[in-house]
């Protein structure tokens, strides 16, 4: 049995260019950079449906990040 896909929450930014670790802190999914680093290194974070192990991965408009049963989509205004 597969896990249900979480509801995707849009997160608005003025421009592209945030990194994955920074994004997780921005949305409050982790407390700090060390927690972000550990979550990403342990394969707990997905970017566009695939496990992402690079904390510095650049997020672009339309990117979807999944972590801990939540999902966010980058929207650039």
Q: Is the pLDDT confidence value at 2 over 90?
A: no
CA distances from 29 to 2, 11, 63 (A): 23, 13, 16
pLDDT for residue 64:
97
Mean pLDDT of 1-24: 84
User: At 3, is the pLDDT very low, low, confident or very high (cuts 50, 70, 90)?
Assistant: low
Question: For 55, which DSSP code?
Answer: T
Q: What pTM was estimated for this model as a whole?
A: 0.90
Query: Residue 66, Cβ neighbours under 10 Å: how many?
Result: 21
Mean of the per-residue pLDDT values of the chain: 92
- pLDDT at residue number 36: 97
- Residue range 11-37: average pLDDT? 93
- Domains in the chain, please, with CATH? 8-76 (3.10.290.10)
């Amino acid at each position: 049995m597969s896990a249900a896909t979480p509801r995707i929450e849009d997160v608005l930014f003025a421009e592209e260019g945030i990194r994955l670790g920074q994004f997780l802190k921005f949305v409050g999914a982790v407390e700090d950079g060390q927690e972000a680093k550990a979550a990403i290194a342990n394969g707990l974070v997905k970017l566009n449906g695939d496990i992402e192990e690079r904390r510095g991965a650049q997020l672009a408009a339309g990117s979807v990040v999944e972590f801990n049963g939540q999902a966010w989509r980058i929207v650039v205004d």
